[in-house]
Every structure is written in structure tokens, then in C-alpha cells.
């Protein structure tokens, strides 16, 4: 009985917009159509019960909103506690050559947008950092630190996502200053499809993804880097290489083909 009294108390302060909207369209006067098409009237008790349910729902929504705010505060607190550990980890990672490119290549989704030339470029990636804004809901940035390399002059390239702007989510990325003749965006644009790595056509190349800011709200690669690769890159660095033995596959294919030919010969002989 106590919860009902609590909800009734909320009703006393005035019905919600949701209830008023339902009343406007006659929801409480008519419940539904019966099988013969006639309207089934909602009695006063049912109408009152719906108002109480709606009041309870308002209280639940308010608690959910409060919980979200408190969870956000906890997340912000632990982001600050994790930050020095992430920095310490990055310093240790520098001791391992090609750590980040190995982790990226071993990541099943992120590697799907990586061309061979881009993989060569990412061998110069010495540090990756994900920075969330103080207000986590507002956005984050991905920072890629490079050693001096033959591809571009930038030592740092950044892709930033602003999720709380009044114009909706937006993203921006550093303009890459390519060295002469090493612009991978142009090179891959004219690379024959037969010479490119096989992938689903919906995927872009890595630097296509980096420079594309057309659909920030659906940027799956950025989310994978932020929420999967960055929290624990070690799990992808340690993925064992899978050795492919094409010769064995070719032999199996030949044997399979021979069996098919043999079956066809038998069928032909029976028909004769």
C-alpha cells in the first residue's frame, strides 16, 4: 500500500504532460476496440489507476536521471585515477618496437580498414592517447603520436568528437601534411581494386576514416579505439599470428575437384 500512497502523492501535485497528452486524445475515455469494432469504455477506476502508474513512472524516471548523474561523477573520478596509469603504460610501451601497429593489425574490426601502405606508416606510431572531456558526455579526442617518418611531417594528429554541441555531434581532425609523393589518400584512391586488401566495401581505409568527419555519431572505428583498444591493447598485441598454408588448401581444392569430376563421369556412364 505504501508505494501506491507515495505515487498518489505525486498525482496530487498535478498530472504529468504524458497524462495530459493521453487525456487530450481521449485515451482514458476509450481503452481499445473490441473484436466487433466497438469502443470499450474505460471506467473511472482504471483511468485513476493509469494516472497513478504514470505518477510512479515519473518517480522512476527521476531516479534513473539521478543515477545517471551519479554514475557520471564516479566515472569522472576514476578517469582521473586511471590517467597516471595510462601514462605509465605508454612510457613502458615505448620499449617495445611496433607495439601499437601490432595491436591494431590484430584487432579484427580496426584492421579491416588498414591497407598495406598504411600498416607500414603505422609502424612509426609510438603513442596512442584517448582523452575524454571533463564532462564525459561532451566528447573525447584520439591522439596519435608519430616518430619522424617518410610519410608526413606531423608529429601529432588528432581526431576530436564533440557530442554535446547545440548543432548535434561533430568531429574534426588534424590536417595531415603529407611529404611529396607519399600522400596515402591519393595513392590508395588510384590503387587498383585487385591490388587492395579484401574487405567489405562499406569500410574506408585508415586515413580515409581519420579525415572523414561526415557522420561522427556513427563512427564505429573511433568507438572501438576508445572503448576496446585503448583500455587494454595488450590483449590484441598478444594475439598469436595465424599461419595460412595455401599449398595445403590448393591440394584440398584439387582433390575436391577430382572427386567432382569422378562423380560426373560415373553419372554419365549410368545414363549411357
Confidence of residue 173 (pLDDT cuts 50, 70, 90): very high
DSSP single-letter state for residue 152: B
**152-166: per-residue pLDDT in tens?**
999 999 999 998 777
Q: Enumerate residues 6+ apart whose C-beta is below 8 A from 269.
A: none
Alpha helices, DSSP H only, in the chain?
Answer: 2-12, 17-24, 44-93, 99-106, 116-122, 184-189, 206-211, 220-224, 234-237, 246-271
Average pLDDT, stretch 19-40?
53
**187-196: per-residue pLDDT in tens?**
888 766 555 5
Average pLDDT, stretch 49-58?
94
DSSP single-letter state for residue 94: T
Between CA 158 and CA 125 the distance in angstroms is 13
- Asked which of 27-31, 99-103, 113-117, 205-209 is least confident by mean pLDDT, the reply is 27-31
Which CATH superfamily hosts domain 94-242? Nucleosome assembly protein (3.30.1120.90)
CB count within 10 Å of CB 205 equals 22
SS3 143: strand
Which residue would you say has higher pLDDT here, 206 or 23? 206
Which residue would you say has higher pLDDT here, 51 or 246? 51
Strand partners, 172: 160
Domain boundaries, the chain: 2-71, 94-242
Q: Is the pLDDT of residue 22 over 60?
A: no
**237-256: per-residue pLDDT in tens?**
998 765 444 445 544 544 44
Confidence of residue 10 (pLDDT cuts 50, 70, 90): very low
Q: Enumerate residues 6+ apart whose C-beta is below 8 A from 267.
A: none
Q: Is the pLDDT of residue 6 over 90?
A: no
Amino acid at each position: 500500500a505504501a508505494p501506491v500512497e507515495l505515487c498518489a502523492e505525486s498525482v496530487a501535485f498535478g498530472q504529468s504532460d504524458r497524462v495530459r497528452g493521453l487525456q487530450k486524445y481521449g485515451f482514458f475515455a476509450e481503452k481499445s476496440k473490441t473484436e466487433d469494432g466497438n469502443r470499450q469504455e474505460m471506467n473511472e477506476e482504471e483511468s485513476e489507476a493509469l494516472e497513478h502508474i504514470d505518477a510512479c513512472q515519473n518517480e522512476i524516471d527521476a531516479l534513473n536521471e539521478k543515477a545517471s548523474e551519479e554514475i557520471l561523477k564516479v566515472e569522472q573520478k576514476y578517469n582521473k585515477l586511471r590517467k597516471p596509469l595510462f601514462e605509465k603504460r605508454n612510457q613502458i610501451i615505448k620499449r617495445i618496437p611496433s607495439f601499437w601497429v601490432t595491436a591494431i593489425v590484430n584487432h579484427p574490426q580496426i584492421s579491416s580498414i588498414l591497407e598495406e601502405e598504411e600498416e607500414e606508416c603505422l609502424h612509426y606510431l609510438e603513442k596512442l592517447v584517448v582523452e575524454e572531456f571533463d564532462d564525459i558526455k561532451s566528447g573525447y579526442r584520439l591522439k596519435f603520436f608519430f616518430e619522424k617518418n617518410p610519410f608526413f611531417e606531423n608529429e601529432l594528429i588528432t581526431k576530436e568528437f564533440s557530442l554535446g554541441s547545440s548543432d548535434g555531434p561533430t568531429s574534426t581532425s588534424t590536417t595531415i601534411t603529407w611529404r611529396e609523393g607519399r600522400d596515402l589518400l591519393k595513392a590508395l584512391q588510384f590503387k587498383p581494386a585487385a591490388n587492395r586488401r579484401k574487405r567489405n566495401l562499406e569500410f574506408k581505409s585508415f586515413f580515409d576514416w581519420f579525415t572523414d568527419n561526415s557522420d561522427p555519431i556513427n563512427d564505429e572505428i573511433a568507438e572501438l579505439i576508445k572503448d576496446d583498444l585503448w583500455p587494454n591493447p595488450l590483449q590484441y598485441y598478444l594475439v598469436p599470428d595465424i599461419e595460412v598454408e595455401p599449398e595445403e588448401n590448393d591440394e584440398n581444392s584439387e582433390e575436391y575437384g577430382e572427386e567432382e569430376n569422378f562423380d560426373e563421369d560415373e553419372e554419365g556412364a549410368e545414363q549411357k
